[in-house]
């Protein structure tokens, strides 16, 4: 199996996280509530894609980049995912810091691109208009800190379960990005009204400081909750499913000769 270098993996993570933020949060900023004037009827036309469109944008961004660069880096695009798969024993802890830095930088570039384009619209103000995550007054539905914390932990854990299961080599081959992308779409459909949906610290960081309006002060929750949820999933996946794939990296591909089993364990037994 051809091995990619760490710089190549970091480049893939940077690119993938950039696209996730630009496509997902960009859809929320540019297209969610778009209104056009109807010169014939003299009325406004609401052409925005709404919550459904934003949810699909996030899911499609992950799915497309997973196919594009997943074979290079594993397509984490999310510090919580990186921590979760490391807890699950399917990623090297030594590479976690570098992955997280690449993801945050890629996300920040995506946020910068959104801001740079959006400010070209006459009268646009970045404050409160950068699709930031939040609780209390900054929650789209007015949900409090505890509710947002619980939702982010729970949904990130489920997201990791989907990733760990879909990338198992007994799952249908080639369909993991679809399952993961649709899983993220569903997560957004559930939680956009709750927190604007994070489940990804890099996505939250990417727009918080542009958005202002209290978002930077609430950013801690969107690091803590997703990482807790991902760690829970990583630690319990084997217990819940009985599927032990700690000899596989997150891409689900490893040379047979590199598989090591404990003494006394049948290497040909179902695992």
Q: Is residue 264 part of a domain?
A: no
What is the pLDDT, as a whole number, of residue 115?
Answer: 98
Q: Is residue 266 part of a domain?
A: no
What average pLDDT does the segment 113-126 reach?
A: 96
Phi, psi values for residue 45, rounded to 5°: -110, 125
Q: Is residue 39 part of a domain?
A: yes
Higher pLDDT, 206 or 247: 206
Q: Is residue 263 part of a domain?
A: no
What is the pLDDT, as a whole number, of residue 169?
Answer: 78
Count of CB atoms situated within 10 Å of the CB of 101: 15
Range of the domain at 215: 6-253
**Rg, Å, the chain Cα set:** 20
Q: Is residue 230 part of a domain?
A: yes
What is the pLDDT, as a whole number, of residue 61?
Answer: 98
C-alpha span between 138 and 140 (Å, rounded): 6
Mean pLDDT of all residues belonging to the chain = 90
What does the pLDDT look like over 145-189, one tens digit per residue? Answer: 999 999 999 999 999 999 999 998 778 888 999 999 999 999 999
Give which of 227, 102, 204, 110 is closest to 157, Cα–Cα.
227
Q: Is residue 181 part of a domain?
A: yes
What does the pLDDT look like over 43-92, one tens digit per residue? Answer: 777 788 999 999 999 999 999 999 999 999 999 999 999 999 999 999 99
What is the pLDDT, as a whole number, of residue 262?
Answer: 54
Find where tokens 């190549």 sit: 8
pLDDT tops 50 at residue 258: no
Find where tokens 């089993």 sit: 261
Give which of 222, 216, 159 is closest to 194, Cα–Cα.
222
> Residue 254 — pLDDT band, cuts 50, 70, 90?
very low
CATH number at residue 38: 1.20.1080.10
Give the number of domains in the chain: 1
pTM: 0.87
Classify burial at 240, counting beta carbons within 10 Å of its beta carbon; exposed 0-12, middle 13-18, buried 19 or more.
exposed
């Amino acid at each position: 199996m051809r091995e990619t270098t760490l710089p190549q993996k970091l480049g893939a993570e940077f690119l993938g996280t950039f696209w996730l933020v630009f496509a997902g949060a960009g859809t929320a900023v540019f297209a969610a509530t778009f209104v056009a004037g109807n010169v014939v009827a003299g009325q406004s036309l609401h052409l925005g894609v709404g919550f459904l469109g934003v949810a699909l944008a996030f899911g499609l961004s992950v799915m497309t980049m997973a196919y594009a660069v997943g074979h290079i880096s594993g397509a984490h695009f999310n510090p919580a995912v990186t921590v979760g798969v490391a807890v699950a024993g399917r990623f090297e802890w030594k590479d976690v810091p570098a992955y997280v830095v690449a993801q945050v930088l890629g996300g920040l570039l995506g946020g910068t691109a959104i801001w740079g384009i959006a400010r070209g619209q006459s009268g646009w103000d970045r404050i409160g208009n950068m699709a930031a995550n939040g609780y209390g007054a900054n929650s789209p539905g007015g949900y409090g800190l505890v509710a947002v914390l619980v939702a982010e932990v729970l949904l990130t854990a489920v997201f990791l379960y989907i990733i760990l299961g879909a990338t198992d080599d007994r799952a249908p081959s080639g369909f993991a990005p679809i399952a993961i992308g649709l899983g993220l779409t569903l997560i957004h459909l559930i939680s956009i009204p709750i927190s604007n949906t994070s489940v990804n610290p890099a996505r939250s960081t990417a727009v918080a400081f542009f958005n202002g309006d209290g978002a930077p002060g609430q950013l801690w929750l969107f690091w803590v909750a997703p990482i807790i949820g991902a760690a829970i999933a990583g630690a319990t996946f084997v217990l819940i499913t009985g599927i032990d794939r700690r000899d596989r990296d997150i891409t689900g591909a490893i040379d047979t000769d590199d598989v090591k089993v404990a003494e006394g364990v049948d290497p040909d037994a179902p695992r």
